[in-house]
Amino acid sequence: MGNNVVTLIGLLAATLTTTSFVPQLIKSWRKRETKDISLWMLLILGAGIFLWMVYGLLIHDLPIILANSISFVLVIFILFFKIRYDRGN
């Protein structure tokens, strides 16, 4: 398989897994509620995503870098909502 096809598969996989966070982010923002989201899950997930991003940078892999950079930002926003909304309740 050519490099372009492999990169395309990686970018498609990255797009799908990264966009999976968007519905949760929108729901948390609209409802201003995050009680059903585990803080520890977000912290562990965020750390894992950050390490994947670093790994992608080290091996110069664009799909890994892009997917995990965007995913990390989305998880940070959800974490922000979690801390903000749970503190208010």
Which are the contacts of 55, defined by CB distance < 8 A and separation ≥ 6? 61, 64
- Asked if residue 1 has pLDDT above 80, the reply is no
pLDDT per residue over 46-80, tens digit each? 999 999 999 999 999 888 998 999 999 999 999 99
Domain ranges of the chain: 3-88
Q: Kindly state the average pLDDT of the residues 5-10.
A: 86
The alpha carbon dihedral of 11, 12, 14, 15 has a sign of positive
Q: Kindly state the average pLDDT of the residues 2-15.
A: 86
* Fold classification of 3-88 (topology level): Monooxygenase (1.20.1280)
pLDDT per residue over 18-33, tens digit each? 899 899 999 999 999 9
pLDDT per residue over 36-47, tens digit each? 899 999 999 999
